[in-house]
Structure 1
Amino acid sequence: MKPLEGFFLLRKLKVDLAILEDVFKKRVAGYSYKWLIETYQLPIVETTLHRYYERYRLHGLEGLQTRKSNQRYSKDFKEKVVQEYVNGHGSLQSLTIAYNIPSRQTLKNWVMRYTLGKEMKDYLPKPEVYTMNARKTTLEERIKITEECIREGLTYKEMAEKYQVKYYQVYQWVKKYKEHGPDALIDGRGKGKAPSVQTDAEKLEAEIKALKARNQWLEMENNVLKKTKEIGRGDDEKRLHQEASYQTIEALKEAYPIAWLCEALGISRASYYKWIQRQTPDDEADDRALMDEITTIYHDHKGIYGYRRITIYLRQRKGMTINHKRVRRLMKHLGLRAVIRQKRKSYRPSTPEVTAENLLNRNFTAERENEKWLTDVTELKFPSGQKAYLSAILDLGKGTIVSHVLGHSNNNKLVFDTYHQAIERTQATHVLLHSDRGYQYTSPSFQRLLKQRQFVQSMSRVGRCIDNGPMEAFWGTLKSEMFHLKKYHTFEELEHDIHAYIKFYNEDRITLKMA
């Protein structure tokens, strides 16, 4: 059997009949309508495709071909179909499919005539050229019809009947051809006059108008890209992706035509208007409220919380029962990510004066406060190139910073002041104090301070920064959650923020251990 050639009209979009036949073969093989629509990107819903499939099953592809002229039905045929409908033997849809009638409206009109007592009529053999709908033609057809009409001296009615076009179409073509030649038959609907029949002033005005429209379109595209990025249209989830498109149109519709915005975003106007009139589902409303809550928490803590810690915050501080996967999905849609730490720079080891064994030996647990302390110094660089140095002591038992001092130089005074501050606050004795092999910690002066409080000293091995892991982790956390979030230009500004952050770290910060 010779395969059919042509197109089938789906919502004013041409679909190749060969593709449609392949779709229906897949349906016969058991594929779902939803899968077929998504795979072949058909511009219809599942119920519509089901209706077309039923027509195909009963009549083959011939039943789906677009007819070039109106279908002709006899009086007996019309009465037969109407009687079946009146007697309850089928619905409008099932009968139009069963009898291969292109439209339910056709059958509905027959039923209306029957119920009003009007007589069914046989279809006229030839459409009236004066009242028929205008047929779409190509430029070549229009030139051929017009030149033949003029050359042969035929009437407009004769030409209209011969080529099945409307009488008024032939009249207009001949008139334009005689005045301006073949170029006048170019389809200029919505475009103004053809260039060949325009004056110089009209051409200049048309060019300016086209440039303005082009500039407005490019401006709109740029704003659409910015707005969709702001709203989050890049999300992989289809529902959120579509939602962002609709919100973009809603935000820009006062500045640009809705048709332009829909075209730029690749969605139909019908779907946008349907979205406007819809009722917001409960789960979508819940997601919106939760996204507002997540955004507030994220910005209140300067972006240092990822989805895990925000989940814990919502559970413990807000009393919510919520899964971390939902928080991660919504944060991804909002474009919110926790601050990523930067890699530490490597430093050359120095030769210490006095060293101690690694008594801590990476045992970072403590049963009580002031049992094990870790200490270290980190460098903080200003944009101008100047540096500040932060010294701190971390209590492993409580997991908090016992003392901290910010200075202009990395010297003994900085470390000694940090130690004295810790002693003043805790009055601790017999503490295991672990540090790296920095010269301040190996100096004889520092050794004497430790002996006064019966402290036991422990030091990391050479090149083993993980021996002081929790202290290094704190530096990374402080820098990613505070220092790298803004540029500091003064020592006082940095000192103020460090004091505020360490207070937050000790008292309010959510940690994954809380889960």
Structure 2
Amino acid sequence: MKKINRKYTDEFKLMVVNDYYNSPLGVRAIAQKYNLPSKNYINNWERQLKKKGILPPDVTKPNKAAGRSKESIAYKDTRTPREKHYEAKIQILEAKIAYLESLESLKPFLKKKSKIRELKYKAIMNIELEHPIWLLCEIAGVSRASYYKYKKKPLKGNTKIDKLVIDIYNKSNKRFGYRSIKSTLNNEYNFIVNHKKIQRIMKENSIQSIVRKKYKKPKEQSIIKENILNRDFNSTKPGEKFITDITYIPTQRKMTYLCTIIDLFNNEPVAWTVSECQDKNLSIDTIKKIN
């Protein structure tokens, strides 16, 4: 069986070392708990984290030899072989789904077949914090060495404008599109660049602005009343039937609205209201004026 060389992040190393410090388990039990090949991993990680400044240099290993129970000497994995098998399968399936979704989101940027490998690397970069890198590389069919080599390679940007576009995009927390970047280049850097060139630079580096969801005002449920009048506009006495209408009156300042109520007996207005807002208050205020 081929041996898999796994790469562990500093966050994972710190979590393991802290667990070793704070739990009653010994170094061998901690290594077994996290499926580490050897207990030496924990000792090496402790030195590495201190060297990087992640762990304080004066922190010492806890003395766990005294008063340690038999249960704490070894970590007991209570999972059955079937449970372990299914958990491994679930992890692989989740990683495959996440990789395919990430790959699908990047397909609009694909122009040539020669960029398929680069697209795979970018798809892995989008989800590398959620799933093991070795598993994602295995799913994508690329080696981890080539992936890490690609990560170290700087973004495309040989010219000054290319670097400025990428820099402006990153400073905007990935919210600027080509229009905002073009405006920033023009106003702050005195660069007049065609928007198509900015779009090309963004496509080459697979960057796009984060689109905010537009707010949609919830629609109020309309209430349909019974048609009592039923187009019978004949009235035999005053105050029996009224009709209303709103007239738009344009002025120099803004549009003005006239709401009028007419008595069908003699077709004379009995109440009216003028307002600059066409809302429900316009109709309500007019109705209140009826004697």
Task: Answer yes or no: same fold by TM over 0.5.
Answer: no
TM bucket normalised to smaller: 0.3 to 0.5
How high is the TM-score relative to the length of structure 1? Answer: 0.23
Normalized per residue, the structure richer in helix is 1
How high is the TM-score relative to the length of structure 2? Answer: 0.37
Larger-Rg structure: 1
